[in-house]
Structure 1
């Protein structure tokens, strides 16, 4: 063939392409060239056949300038060559290439927050592989993403190469980590009923404060915005704002990329109350009156979707108990804009006849299928109830075993069948924690615990704990089977070993025992526990009253304690009934708790007694949203059988019942004994009230204030014969204390400062005007 040559313009263009790398295609001259041979130069690792495959040019045929340009682009874009030149030489096309070098080592410079090992897992460039600038840039972008996920949006990563002999390079990622890009401000537009500060407390996302280095900080996470939107919506709607909606969320980053600003644009709408509440039946033969009795929505009450949902669940449960399948409860709401009220009608309607063909579970590698299935009241062959499937998914999420739970239905093998797909994403369920605590009277204490709430994937709980203070120690093992014998029956077994060593007293105690029991629901909010306890409680090292040979002073504890020395076995059966309104959560502003417990000792052992305790508590934000009011009233009594007398370890000491007093600091005390040790009492009562409120500081500081007032008493002894024949005063003397608290949520754990003043006390009581507690996990 003829010696075809490219024009000067074409040669200049190809040279420019070789220097500049891949560019957009440029038209070539229309003249054709013919090559019989291709000579390849400069390749070391790449086989000639590979290069020819990228060229893809015919031999002995006309080759246009456009085809030659396309061949050049294919070689250049292959990522194999640093330089490419195409030079026609007569009937031969000379292809000169310079291969990318091999990566010798990969290094990271400037990284302090992330270790090299962690970054090596991110980059795709590897030692002893061909260096690719595109891959290096992609690796730099991935490293930046890792830093961004930790809130360092200002991080910069630049890939650099250091050339070595033998066509090798060292790939170095130069990193400037930058500071954490914190959320500088969270603002709201359109809110009138609640302040910005109150709404910021609702969000999962928090803004950084002025003392961010020491107190609290937060970084921007786009994944949290949908959660925040739902939290805001639930907050408003549970307080009567049925038309509330988040219109827009605008996150903005500062020009320097060192701060985020988030603005929520919301529409509150009016606050509604219920006016007329009705129940109607559109199903022949079904009387609406029976279902009306399940209604928990009252006229005049503030709109709350939770109360509507609770009523629907109760009505659907009644329909199932009556054997009424495929009956749906449809809430129909009519808005009365003039007086801002709602008319609510619960309509019983006939739904489609659809059955559950099967339930498919995927994603669980550790958790057994039966643990998931027992959260479903629906089984294969049952009528399909979409609400029950959603409720089952919620129960699965509440277990804490899974990071995500999705339950969806799809058509089955026939028109009246559906398949329920349950997809779960497991998460770690075990924890190993270490902690430190401090109390003014107890000193520094340490604790450690190993907990697993999904033991062996069976949904069982296992907890091992140990705590040690300056003068007390405790350890224990607890095992819980939540579905004993495949039923909603919680079985519990617990073993403990506790000791005190002169714990604000002149004697030592030791308690070792085990307890087992069963707990089951008896109503929507009520549960009953039946239990058995076997323990050995020992009082020892009680100082007898004697005269010190050197000082001549008397020393020793009360003869009452000295007579009660020794170890005694207690074998007792007991029960506890508990009521907690938080289980259904009908009223989001007020929560109630009630508890009644009794233990009957005498089934063997050395102690024959009946111990009774009652408790009632209320927590409310009804007065003001950002103010929490708490009140607790409790009492207890120990009654011995067969004319026996109580022993110190059977009696109440009042510890932790009334603030402002030291441990063993109140109750009957033998004032005639030199050591004046507390004796405890057969009876106690305590009333605790507290109010918590913001102090006007930014909520991100985590600082709140509180005021409290406590009152109570410990009294009653079977044996009052104290030292030197004098009787101990065991009357019911009221004690009372008032004080202020400071709550501070810090990075090392929650701190609580109590400043108390005992305003009503006996002369011999031991008060404690200040107390500090701190606990943390790491």
Structure 2
């Protein structure tokens, strides 16, 4: 409670005490006058033949008499009169109460609390009036209550505390108006943000402070402290941070880790905190001997041993154990064994720093799911959450499946928090699964900027919503425009078609290109649709259909004959069917330091339309963290091939140019080029291949600045043409000619989104290639 308000409350208490004393004195005085033979005063008894109530305007007399609890003709002691006074005063309806005995008449005088005329907030800048109005319980045109006003002040102060303003003070005051009305004013002194000036760790040896700070939800204050909200001190985050630190260490084999304390100390000026986490790391453990036993009659342990994906020498991780249990329990369900559970039995080998794991197939309890209750989803539909459960009402309870359902709900990205637990149901063999979620923004707005000396500045803007109308659907729109091109597109995805684990997508695009490096214009318009479904724990398959039209026109007379010949053909319509396979264990894999992404796809054109070809694309990515996980290294290999069928040939609108694949070059800046044509046109290629090697690392700056560095090496090429006869009948060199660039990147996490600056230099290039030594991208989220 704030000092000003405490003083007001103390004055009110003293006034009430004086009123009670006066009433008691009047009781005694009245008793002495009417019954002089009764002594002492506490033994005196009153009997009132009449009760008069004065001062009430809105509250009925009967209501006041009911609070008093005194009946006419009833003998009442002085103590009972005092109790009556307390009941009336504590009703919260009256600002002042007096009980005055006058002979055989009891006079009850009341002064009603005034009506609240308006509610105002003064001194607030960080939180708007509309937001504060939602926090307070006091309302205009209702009776003023000091107790409620005090509670409202505490609620406002709590809202500021959550924002890190621990020094904020709120004082409720009233301004008297006519007709027993008051204006209620909350005077707010916001104070300064209490920032996390320093986050430090005690007891950590395996990982640096810098690496551990990346794990925490709490962040240190930097020079953008006025804009970044995560650097404000919120006490509730400390417990979450302790859990995140524990999970981080355990996933890396530190089975004995303990985060024993997370404390915060306020500075003398109360405008900063110093947060310290105390850690007992223990030693890292590996997986030792792995065995599987069955304690259920008729169940063969060998089949479950084959389902395990765990081997000796791996780093111990609770996630590794859980994933293998899930595989085995899934196998049990496929075998029709509903109440079979797999228990991990861990035996430590401290001498070798290993953990022996025995997976025991045992009989579980016969418990069923009675119902699933969902709360907190104001926007997201229940069905979006329910389909994350593999269990429905009436199914046998699988506690591990319930936990994994909670993880799937969190992985949607729709909720800032999602809690799932099981409570006893209507009978001992029934449970109720409670889901409590807290929604968060799911839309994003993206801005992009690129620059090159030759092409000038370009920009793009995009909108995406991954929980469209609360249905879990994804919608995206984008528009890009530059000096020489325009590109617009849209896409829509339904992740659960017909309520099944089957996604449906539809999209479209419209592109116009007028490159300075190519003296011709292109127009591409198309519509795509497809379905996708999982084919494994970490893999999926997409089937797709594309209908498009590609037009090449406005070819300059000085352009290559190859392009001029292709421009003679009118707009080509393409009808293609294709598939794409993807394997990605970066998130669901067992290696907390990295993972692998594999993609392979083919499109077959020629079932209709004007084109016939097979296009094949592939990508392989591998990444891991090194140097105490402070540096991330990544290798990406990507390639594509267009193979024309029959007597058809590829056009410049279909071929690859390596745009966005090899950094350091402008659009259409590499690949086969007709050097004998006046314009020296870029022709593209039927084949491309590139290898990109990247490293992300700290720059030694305080991590609260959000600035890190990167380095990259790109090697690749674009080559191969169906027609190589260029200007003057000279053959165009369409052979494989590698290019190589190196560069440095600066990553800056700003309040408006992550910025990336790329500075590149070509190590190997051709004289006719068009370099681009700098580019910048920016994106933001709401």
Whether TM exceeds 0.5 here: the answer is yes
- Indicate the SS of the match to 1:112: coil
Structure 2 equivalent of residue 631 of structure 1: 635
Over residues 254-308 of structure 1, what are the superposed CA-to-partner deviations in whole Å (9 max), with x where a residue is unaligned?
4544223332222212211122222222233433233222222221222122222
TM-score w.r.t. structure 2 length? 0.89
Equivalent residue for 1:524, pick from 504, 519, 537: 537
Over residues 145-168 of structure 1, what are the superposed CA-to-partner deviations in whole Å (9 max), with x where a residue is unaligned?
222233222222212222233333
Equivalent residue for 1:431, pick from 430, 443, 454: 443
Q: 1:228 to 1:507 in 2, by over 3 A?
A: same
Shift of 1:401: 4.6
Residue 225 (1) aligns with residue 238 (2): yes
Shift of 1:215: 6.4
Q: Distance in 2 between matches of 1:450 and 1:240?
A: 39
Q: 1:333 to 1:645 in 2, by over 3 A?
A: same
TM-score w.r.t. structure 1 length? 0.89
Q: 1:361 to 1:300 in 2, by over 3 A?
A: same
- Indicate the SS of the match to 2:683: coil
Q: Which residues in structure 2 correspond to 1:567-586 (within 5 Å)?
A: 567-582=571-586, 584-586=588-590
Structure 1 equivalent of residue 708 of structure 2: 704
Structure 1 equivalent of residue 561 of structure 2: 559
Gaps of 5+ in 2: 1-12, 29-40
Shift of 1:455: 4.9
Q: 1:56 to 1:487 in 2, by over 3 A?
A: closer
Over residues 61-96 of structure 1, what are the superposed CA-to-partner deviations in whole Å (9 max), with x where a residue is unaligned?
554332233333333333333333344434434444
- Indicate the SS of the match to 1:677: coil
Structure 2 equivalent of residue 406 of structure 1: 420
Shift of 1:772: 1.8
Over residues 239-262 of structure 1, what are the superposed CA-to-partner deviations in whole Å (9 max), with x where a residue is unaligned?
110111222322344454422333
- Indicate the SS of the match to 1:298: coil
Over residues 4-31 of structure 1, what are the superposed CA-to-partner deviations in whole Å (9 max), with x where a residue is unaligned?
xxxxxxxxxxx97556568999998424
Larger mean CA deviation between 760-769 and 157-166 belongs to 157-166
Equivalent residue for 1:85, pick from 95, 98, 113: 98
Q: Distance in 2 between matches of 1:694 and 1:119?
A: 41
CA contact under 8 A between 1:438 and 1:775: conserved in structure 2?
Answer: no
Q: Distance in 1 between matches of 2:20 and 2:668?
A: 84
Q: 1:214 to 1:279 in 2, by over 3 A?
A: same
Larger mean CA deviation between 606-615 and 242-251 belongs to 242-251
Structure 2 equivalent of residue 725 of structure 1: 729
Equivalent residue for 1:418, pick from 417, 421, 430: 430
Q: 1:361 to 1:115 in 2, by over 3 A?
A: closer
- Indicate the SS of the match to 2:42: coil
Structure 2 equivalent of residue 160 of structure 1: 173
Over residues 426-463 of structure 1, what are the superposed CA-to-partner deviations in whole Å (9 max), with x where a residue is unaligned?
73676363635344456241413253535573x44333
Shift of 1:309: 1.6
CA contact under 8 A between 1:755 and 1:771: conserved in structure 2?
Answer: yes
Q: 1:764 to 1:30 in 2, by over 3 A?
A: same
Q: Distance in 1 between matches of 2:302 and 2:399?
A: 25
Q: 1:293 to 1:233 in 2, by over 3 A?
A: same
Over residues 282-337 of structure 1, what are the superposed CA-to-partner deviations in whole Å (9 max), with x where a residue is unaligned?
23343323322222222122212222222212222223333344322111111122
Shift of 1:512: 0.8
Residue 321 (1) aligns with residue 325 (2): no
Larger mean CA deviation between 426-435 and 302-311 belongs to 426-435
Residue 392 (1) aligns with residue 392 (2): no
Q: Distance in 2 between matches of 1:214 and 1:452?
A: 26
Larger mean CA deviation between 16-25 and 207-216 belongs to 16-25
- Indicate the SS of the match to 1:625: coil
Q: Which residues in structure 2 correspond to 1:66-465 (within 5 Å)?
A: 66-213=79-226, 218-254=231-267, 256-352=269-365, 354=366, 356=368, 358-363=370-375, 371-379=384-392, 382-401=395-414, 403-408=417-422, 410-411=424-425, 417-425=429-437, 427=439, 431=443, 433=445, 435-440=447-452, 441=455, 443-453=457-467, 455=469, 457=471, 459-465=472-478
Q: 1:48 to 1:382 in 2, by over 3 A?
A: closer
Q: 1:651 to 1:271 in 2, by over 3 A?
A: same
Equivalent residue for 1:776, pick from 768, 775, 780: 780
Q: 1:405 to 1:76 in 2, by over 3 A?
A: closer
Q: Distance in 2 between matches of 1:401 and 1:661?
A: 38
CA contact under 8 A between 1:408 and 1:422: conserved in structure 2?
Answer: yes
